[in-house]
Amino acid sequence: MSHNPDVEVAMTTHNALPASAIVGVIGAGTMGAGIAHVAAAAGHKVLLFDARAGAAKDAYERTWAQLQSSAAKGRMSAEDAREIAGRITPCDALEDLVLAQLVIEAIIEDLEVKRALFANLESIVTPDAILASNTSSISITAIGAGLVRPARFAGLHFFNPAPVMRLVEVVSGLATATATIECLVATARTWGKTTVKARSTPGFIVNRVARPYYAEALRLYEERCAEPATIDAILTESTGFRMGPFALMDLIGHDVNYAVSCSVFDAYYGDPRFRPSLVQLELVQAGWLGRKSGRGFYDYGPASLNSEPEIAKVDPDVSPYEDALLAGDTIVDGMLVALTDGRTAAERARVAGRPVILRDLVLDAGSSSRIGFCASQAVSDDQISRFVATVSHAGKIATRLPDWPGLVGMRTVAMLANEAFEALLHGVADESEINLAMRFGVNYPLGPIEWARRIGLERVIQVIDAIFDITHDPRYRVSFGLRQAQEDEQ
């Protein structure tokens, strides 16, 4: 099932809070200020509170400056900017939120701190006010367990920056009432957001399903398959991701990204699927946290000399093969050219009885600008040169990789799909919502389940099984949900 987000936003919103309802936001950091901006832009009066003296006022001033900048750039009128800012009121005390009909918490990710806050807040607001946490990973059930009325408590997880990112995960704990979820979904839609409903499990949808994007890149680097710049280039230029995993981890901050990995790993009782990376731990220990510290996997200093992605050299005197061999599995010049199925080129050559070149996954044969490949030992230098010339003739860059199981793009997408099917199996969300969450929460070009169906579920299973057969690492175990889905297609 596919979703049209524009239709989704236009769906019935009879359960939404009216624009006259007061919204409280607790926490005046980047996320809290962003949520306040979103609610005020939707017409609500917003009460912004932070326990640190002066923080709410400072956040208001930053928001006002951002609104003025947007107006100066023609993104909104000066009048709209003034009206949005005029709806936000910094507060000095939690008690100032007494009339709020919805209160959203965006403070430190600490269970006990959040529990204490909501216990206090519950005694201040009216009995019918809805309470919500913006937590990205802490159990909604656990936060709400100490409340007198946990039925009115839920997760409302925005993505940073909140005024820009369209996705909101609406998360139900065990005690959350259906009416609470319906109201939050409808309200977020009136705020112009694309919503997905999730059950309270570690990482919800996005932070759980996205773990393999980082984990497989880190594992490939640990195995010395390729350097970060090459892996990033393949995943952006071949498979269409907006940003490569190493550049993205540098942007997020390795302290933050590593902490989330550890949190999810611990929450799943040490499941190998979520195992954190020792390479990333070393960066954290060195203080190389990414952009904010000036160095991570890449150097952001003024005289930085970062490595370039690997590019196979094109010999202008070599004739290319037919471009058709870049699309399907083809025998040409005595060798097999095929899309990877997870097995190494050496193994494919042994079975086929001929030399083998394996292509990595591309999102779209027409628009993808790079093709990763590997070759079995018996492929000649002339055959390699002609293959590279063929890629160049098609207007693309060729990157030769070592003979690695699953290569880079296919291995990453297969593992993302596997985790998505595992989340589906556990009832975290339905298939359409998982696909929607990954497209709008982290800007994936396709939802991972949709992507797996496009590749072919049988192929995805083959890839993961092949990696497991080589590594015997239990992180590469195919989800029963994926196997079930493949059987249902037969």
Cα 390 from chain centroid (whole Å): 34
Assess whether 2 carries a catalytic annotation. Answer: no
* CB burial readout 399-426, b (16+ within 10 A) else e: bbbebbbbbbbbbbbbbbbbbbbbbbee
- Residue 319 has a CB neighbour count (10 Å cut-off) of 10
- Note if 70 is an active site residue: no
From the list 207, 368, 392, 479, the catalytic residue is: 207
For the chain, how big is the Rg over CA atoms in Å? 25
**169 classed as catalytic:** yes
Q: Is 425 helix (H, G, I), strand (E, B) or coil?
A: helix
> Among 105, 122, 169, 347, which one carries the catalytic annotation?
169
Choosing from 133, 134, 136, 435, the catalytic residue is 136
- Report the SS3 class of residue 103: strand
* Tokens read off for 150: 């946990």
Give the whole-angstrom CA distance, residue 326 versus residue 398.
Answer: 11
Catalytic residue among 37, 44, 157, 254: 157
- Give the C-alpha separation, 164 to 323, whole Å: 41
Q: CA separation (Å) from 347 to 132, 140, 358, 408?
A: 53, 47, 11, 18
Residue 120 annotated as catalytic: no
Alpha-helical (H) ranges within 203-320 are: 206-209, 211-222, 228-237, 245-252, 254-267, 278-286
Cis amide linkage into residue 445, ω under 30° from 0: no
Would you state the structure tokens that stand for residue 62, as one six-digit string?
């930053």
Residues 120 and 51 sit within 8 Å (Cβ to Cβ): no
Q: Which residues are catalytic?
A: 136, 157, 169, 207
